[in-house]
């Protein structure tokens, strides 16, 4: 093979076996190039019933972390982070998470008893998700002394309170580029989550969430969960009804939008045609189990991806490196229809500058 062909898609031999509510053993990722994508495939067996929940095939992982040398390159911690990762990639590319198992599972209404289903969760750290070997933002794996993916699972009733997950295996694939030294113009992902538990209704973007400083901020991912489905934790649109992004000192607002305008902008930006299983009037709670036959032209409930590249750098978004610091920008949320248990999870899609030692240690 010519040495100029450096792109590789590698299937890892290590796998993880499902165990409910458990920190699974960390899996080592290859450190012989620049990592451009990480894929998790879940082959899961559950005894699904008529009470299977919305997002049932997305709910399989509680925490997802890719870490090395004390750095969280992907830091998703909270409630069912695989749902956020699934919706993120589906919004960016339109690629589905759920795959038919070829055995006639009735995905439109999966009350079929014991069945195996396949979910694929993909993380693309670069700014062009349609290029699997996009080098705009990478993990400089070869320059690191350690690199692992760490999963935490939820309770066994996460997909269906009356039909438990009984078995499952997580397998991993990595896209990486070999024989290519990183350069200082590239970026490195360092995103993380924060969760705000609602305490009451707030008007005019009254909840002020401090935006982290110190790095580039490419996008903000927001998922809002309603208490109605407790413990189902269902996405809904009428809990956060407006979003702003403003400068703290001047109160100058970069963004000021009703939640439906935020969703429409997201759909237009990424060509989002709809999310499987979203039915009913806009703003309705997501209560129907998603399936391929239910794909409608419907923006997903309780899910918002705010792309900040139009407000800053075309690849990396807002430049919040020093002298910017945490709190110089604030994310404003208008809170409505409060009930105990409502919560908003935010993923700050940050990018760090490539470090000289990562370039030199190659």
Is 2 domain-assigned? no
Among the listed residues 121, 120, 105, 122, the one whose alpha carbon sits nearest the alpha carbon of residue 52? 105
* Cα(321)–Cα(183) distance, integer angstroms: 19
Indicate whether 171 belongs to any domain.
yes
Helices 81-93 and 259-270 cross at an angle (nearest 10°) of: 50
Q: How far is CA 103 from the centre of its chain?
A: 29
Could you list the residue range(s) of the whole structural domain that residue 17 is in? 7-360
Of 42, 92, 96, which is closest to residue 293 (Cα–Cα)?
Answer: 96
Task: Write out 82-131 in H/E/C secondary structure.
Answer: HHHHHHHHHHHHCCCCEECCCCCCCCCCCCCEEEEEEEEEEECCCCCCCC
Q: What is the pLDDT along the chain (362 residues), one digit of tens a residue?
A: 445 689 999 999 999 999 999 999 999 999 999 999 999 999 998 887 877 787 888 999 999 999 999 999 999 999 999 999 999 999 999 887 877 655 545 444 555 567 788 899 999 999 999 999 999 999 999 999 999 999 999 999 988 888 899 999 999 999 999 999 999 999 999 999 999 999 999 999 999 999 999 999 999 999 999 876 555 678 888 999 999 999 988 879 999 999 999 988 998 888 876 665 554 434 445 555 555 444 445 678 899 999 999 999 999 999 999 999 999 999 999 999 998 889 999 999 999 999 999 999 88
Q: What is the pTM of this model?
A: 0.91
Q: Which of 236, 234, 254 is nearest to 245 (CA)?
A: 254
Rounded to whole angstroms, how far apart are CA atoms 130 and 302?
25
Closest CA relative to residue 256, chosen from 157, 279, 247: 247
In a domain, 41, yes or no: yes
Give CA separation, 247 vs 138, 209, 305, 332, in Å: 30, 12, 20, 11
Q: Pairing relation of β-strands 329-335 and 202-210?
A: antiparallel
- How is residue 19 annotated by DSSP? -
**Angle at CA 146, nearest 5°, toward 141 and 148?**
85
The answer to whether the CB of 345 falls within 8 A of the CB of 247 is: no
Question: Does residue 1 fall inside a structural domain?
Answer: no
Angle at 321 between CA 246 and CA 325, to 5 degrees: 55
CA atoms of 295 and 237, how far apart (whole Å): 19
- The verdict on residue 356 lying in a domain is yes
CB-based contact 91:270 (threshold 8 Å):
yes
- Counted domains in the chain: 1
At 41 the three-state DSSP class reads strand
Token output for 209: 């969430």
In a domain, 281, yes or no: yes
The domain spanning residue 199 has which CATH number? 2.60.120.20
């Amino acid at each position: 093979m010519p040495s100029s062909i450096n792109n590789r898609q590698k299937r890892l031999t290590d796998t993880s076996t499902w165990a409910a509510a458990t920190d699974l053993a960390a899996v080592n990722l290859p450190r012989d190039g620049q990592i451009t994508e990480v894929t998790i495939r879940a082959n899961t067996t559950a005894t699904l019933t008529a009470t299977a929940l919305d997002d049932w095939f997305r709910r399989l992982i509680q925490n997802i972390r890719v870490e090395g040398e004390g750095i969280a390159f992907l830091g998703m911690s909270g409630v069912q982070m695989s749902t956020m990762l699934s919706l993120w990639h589906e919004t960016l590319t339109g690629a589905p998470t759920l795959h038919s198992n070829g055995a006639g599972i009735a995905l439109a209404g999966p009350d079929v008893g014991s069945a195996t289903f396949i979910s694929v969760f993909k993380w693309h750290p670069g700014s062009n998700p349609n290029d699997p070997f996009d080098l705009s933002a990478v993990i400089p794996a070869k320059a690191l002394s350690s690199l692992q993916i760490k999963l935490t699972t939820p309770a066994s009733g996460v997909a269906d309170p009356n039909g438990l997950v009984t078995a499952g295996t997580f397998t991993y694939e990595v896209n990486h580029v070999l024989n290519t030294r990183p350069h200082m113009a590239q970026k490195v992902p360092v995103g993380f989550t924060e969760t705000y538990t609602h305490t009451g209704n707030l008007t005019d973007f009254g909840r002020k969430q401090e935006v982290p400083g110190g790095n580039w901020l490419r996008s903000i991912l927001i998922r809002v969960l309603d208490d109605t489905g407790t413990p189902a934790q269902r996405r809904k649109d009428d809990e956060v009804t407006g979003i702003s992004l403003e400068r703290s000192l001047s109160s100058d607002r970069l963004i000021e939008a009703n939640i439906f305008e935020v969703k429409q902008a997201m759909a237009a930006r990424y060509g989002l045609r709809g999310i499987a299983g979203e039915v009913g009037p806009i703003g309705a709670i997501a209560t129907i189990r998603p399936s391929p036959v239910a794909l409608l032209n419907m923006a997903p409930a309780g899910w918002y991806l705010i792309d900040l590249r139009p407000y800053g750098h075309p690849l990396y978004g807002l430049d919040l490196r020093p002298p910017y610091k945490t709190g110089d920008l604030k994310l404003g949320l208008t809170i409505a229809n409060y009930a105990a248990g409502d919560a908003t999870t935010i993923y700050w899609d940050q990018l760090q500058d490539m470090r000289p030692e990562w370039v030199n240690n190659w």
